[in-house]
Amino acid sequence: MNNDRMDEIVQDVQNIPPLPAVVLKVIQLTRGNDTSANDLNKVISLDPALTANLLKLCNSAYYGLPRVISSVTQAVMYLGFHTVRNLVLTSTMSDFFNKETSGYGYAKGGLWQHSVAVALASEKLSKKISPGLRDVAFTAGLLHDIGKVVMSRFVGNAHVDIEKLMREENIPFMQAEQEVLGFNHALLGAKVADQWSFPQELINAIGFHHYPDKAKGRPMLPIIVHLADAAALQMGFGLGSDGLCYPLSEFALKTANMGPHEMAELYQDLEEDMKNASDFLEINPG
Ligand SMILES: [Fe+2]
Ligand SMILES: [Fe+2]
């Protein structure tokens, strides 16, 4: 691994797109046990555009609430803390992701669609196999490929070389990426997440979402994101170069107790969830 090159990228802060300030606060908020609608309200109300967007989403036909929601506290009361928190994260991160990431063969919006799909599948999967991780699973899924956003500024048209190598040598994307660039998007993403002071389990999930068996500490969150990633690619959500050859980890399937039947169920659920979320979240792949 070309660590020097990767460190150079991470250190050059100007090259890393700024993370919306509210994102880190919201991620940290949900970590404690004593969080309340009030805390969330305090963070969100500092950003009027975000508050307006959040209320618009809460009042959309998607939720069909019996009354008009006019404050964050009310939104939490009617939709629950998790839902409102996830809505805040999705509405703040969409700009960050909705850039051209052509270096990875994604059309504009493709990486965002992929990220939302992996977030939804991660949350669904965690509910089934590890409910304690439900809260962080959505966030981990949403941010798992964040290294690509950073890296796409450096890789130019590298996907052409990456895909060529994949075809010629019949190797998975991550391996070709490593050979062409000298490092991979997962580890770069983990480094950037560390720089942003993300919680350790989130850094771990970002860094090992392709190889959960190599994760340090508890592997369940990287496993969930890995399987959700596979489900999103299988269903064609955000199919960039990454999706052309995706080795599904036997270790992940075994540890999560997921057989072909359970995976098929995950695919189906995801298709349904994405159908419902697409209009609502205005996900427009290019
Ligand atoms: Fe990835
Ligand atoms: Fe991915």
pLDDT tens for each residue of 196-226: 889 899 999 999 999 999 998 889 999 999 9
DSSP state of 247: P
Q: pLDDT digits over 95-112, tens only?
A: 788 766 666 667 678 888
Compute the distance from residue 33 Cα to the ligand 1 centre, in Å. 30
175 or 159, greater pLDDT: 175
What integer pLDDT is reported at residue 22 of this predicted model? Answer: 86
Compute the distance from residue 229 Cα to the ligand 2 centre, in Å. 5
Ligand found nearest the CA of 112: 2
What is the share, in percent, of the chain residues with pLDDT greater than 70? 86
- What confidence tier does 186 reach under pLDDT thresholds 50, 70, 90? very high
The pLDDT of 106-127, averaged and rounded, is 90
* DSSP collapsed to 3 states, 159-177: HHHHHHHHHHHCCCHHHHH
Measured between its terminal Cα atoms, the distance across the chain in Å is 33
What's this model's pTM, rounded to 2 decimal places?
0.88
Q: Kindly tell me if the per-residue pLDDT of 47 is higher than 90.
A: no
Q: What value does the mean pLDDT of the chain take?
A: 85
Provide CB contacts within 8 A for 272, sequence distance 6+: none
Compute the distance from residue 53 Cα to the ligand 2 centre, in Å. 26
Q: Is the Cα torsion angle 26, 125, 201, 158 positive or negative in sign?
A: negative
Q: Which of 6-20, 74-88, 251-265 has the highest mean pLDDT?
A: 251-265
Ligand found nearest the CA of 141: 2
Compute the distance from residue 160 Cα to the ligand 2 centre, in Å. 18
Q: How many H-runs (helices) and E-runs (strands) does the chain carry?
A: 16, 0
Q: pLDDT digits over 248-263, tens only?
A: 999 999 999 999 999 9
User: 215, 184, 197, 206: which is closest to 9 by C-alpha?
Assistant: 184
- What confidence tier does 286 reach under pLDDT thresholds 50, 70, 90? very low
User: Is 140:181 a contact under the CB 8 Å cutoff?
Assistant: no
Torsions phi, psi for 223 (to 5 deg): -65, -45
DSSP state of 249: P
User: Is 12:1 a contact under the CB 8 Å cutoff?
Assistant: no
Residues whose beta carbons lie less than 5 angstroms from ion ligand 1 = 145
What integer pLDDT is reported at residue 102 of this predicted model? Answer: 64
Least confident of 57-61, 131-135, 210-214, 238-242: 238-242
